[in-house]
Amino acid sequence: MIHSGLRITLVVSMAALITLANGYATNEVLNPGFESGKVEWYLFVPPESQEKSCQYNLSNRESHSGKTCAEISSEDFARFGLSYKRRLFVNSGERYRIIAWIKADSGAAVKNSTQGFLIRFVLTQGKADAPKSPAIFIGLNGNVTIESLIDGTKLRGLAAPLPTEWTKVEAVVEIPVVKEGVDGMQMSLCGQNTRGTLWIDDVSIEKVSESTPLSPVGDNFLRP
């Protein structure tokens, strides 16, 4: 006779095995909650923001889960980001669920007509950016836009207050088809013309089935 508690455990275990067998629901990100320190992550600061005192630190006071989260900050309006060191291996047509938790200090500000925060993916081929490939951008509301990296750095949008409570940014995206081919992508979590402090925690990238609904995709939906 199988007790109900054991039966539930067996059902859950079988579901987990089926999930693993399908190759889904596995977080591709190492050190997603920054519990191992700064390992796997680095601060990216483009030339125009080099004088804005951008920093990447760890915080043990503001974590969403666990004991630690990432803290990025700037003393003036800057474009900067927390970049994942590893290239994620992907193929065109695959779908991924992207999640990151974000919180801003009450004194953080966003420059007019900019987004404040974006998750950005640059598609790659080998160890270099895939030629003529678009980049994928995910906004705070989970909407997605796909366009050239050059245009993407100039995305416009209506400035809105950054969330001062932990907020989940989530989207399901499909890797676009690129004529020259794509075999990977690089991720950055970006402050876009933001001044002040942002906290980031519990980042995940999970491959999902082709039947998983995609998040809304717009033609530069971030512009007013």
Q: Is the pLDDT score of 155 beyond 90?
A: no
> Cβ distance 65 to 180 under 8 Å?
no
Q: 25: phi > 0 → left, psi -120 to 50 → alpha, else beta; which?
A: left
Q: Are 198 and 116 in contact (CB under 8 A)?
A: no
| Alpha-carbon span 190 to 177, nearest angstrom | 24
N-to-C CA span, the chain: 64
| 196 lies in some domain | yes
Euclidean distance between CA atoms 66 and 104, whole angstroms:
18
For the record, the structure tokens of 159 come out as 């400035």
Give phi and psi for 179, each to the nearest 5. -55, -45
Q: What contacts 217, CB < 8 A, 6 or more positions away?
A: 143, 144, 145, 146
pLDDT, mean of residues 149-167 = 66
Q: Is 7 part of any domain?
A: no
Report the domain count for the chain: 1
> What pLDDT score does 79 carry?
92
pTM as predicted: 0.82
Q: How confident is the model at residue 150 (pLDDT cuts 50, 70, 90)?
A: very low
- Residue 22 maps to a domain: no
In a domain, 154, yes or no: yes
Q: How many residues does the chain have?
A: 224
Residue type, 90: V
Residue 20 falls inside a structural domain: no
Rounded distance between C-alpha atoms, residue 183 and residue 65, angstroms: 32
Q: 144-148 and 217-218 as β-strands: parallel, antiparallel, unpaired?
A: parallel
Averaged pLDDT, 54-81: 96
Q: Is the pLDDT of residue 51 over 80?
A: yes
**pLDDT tens digits for 160-169?**
579 999 999 9
Q: Which domain holds residue 174?
A: 27-218
161: CATH: 2.60.120.260
Residue range 80-104: mean pLDDT, rounded:
96
Look over the chain and give the mean of its residue pLDDT values, rounded to a whole number. Answer: 83
Q: Confidence band (pLDDT; 50, 70, 90) for 148?
A: low
Residue 3 belongs to a domain: no
Helix or strand run (H / E) with residue 125: strand 116-125
Q: Identify whether the C-beta of residue 222 lies closer than 8 Å to the C-beta of residue 127.
A: no
Sign of the C-alpha dihedral computed for residues 214, 188, 26 and 12 taken in this order: negative
Task: Evaluate whether residue 18 is within a structural domain.
Answer: no
Q: Give 179's pLDDT tier (boundaries 50, 70, 90).
A: confident
Residue 5 covered by a domain: no
Tell me the per-residue pLDDT of 208-219, one tens digit each, with 9 for 90 and over: 999 999 998 875
